[in-house]
Amino acid sequence: MTDLDPVIHAQARLRVVATLSALADGDRITFPRLQELLGMTAGNLSVHLRKLEDAAYVEITKTHRGRTPATLVRLSRRGRLAFEEYTESIRALLNPTDPKEQP
């Protein structure tokens, strides 16, 4: 059995990654929209995004929409793979017997 990824396992980061994984591969979401969906403060979300960014699980792009600054967030390929492995580990914990091995 695989250990649970400690970067993702923290409740707030798990919520962030789960939300981002619902986006199509390569799609991005604005920081304020992500903050709204998660009901997190800007500071709290920033801290958790930084940890996910340090692990290369998210990619953050700072840009402008017209004259307004915009921060866009997306799950990286590495982050998507890490989340898939994490969910497989959770499933294995919840259902330790493989149905293929049952008589």
Q: Identify which of 21, 30, 17 has the alpha carbon closest to the alpha carbon of residue 60.
A: 30
- How deeply is 93 buried, as exposed, middle or buried, from its count of CB atoms within 10 A (0-12, 13-18, 19+)? exposed
Q: What is the pLDDT of residues 46-96, one digit of tens each?
A: 999 999 999 999 999 999 989 999 999 999 999 999 999 999 999 988 988
What are the residue boundaries of the structural domains of the chain, listed by start? 6-93
Q: What global pTM score does this model have?
A: 0.87
SS3 assignment, position 9: helix
Q: What confidence tens digit (pLDDT) does each residue in 25-41 have?
A: 989 999 999 999 999 99
> Is pLDDT at 103 greater than 70 in this prediction?
no
- Top-confidence residue, 7 or 95: 7
Cα gap 73→20, rounded to integer Å: 8
What's 6-93's CATH class? mainly alpha
100 pLDDT tier (thresholds 50, 70, 90): low
Residue type, 56: A
| CA dist list (Å): 9 to 68, 70, 95, 97, 98 | 34, 28, 18, 23, 23
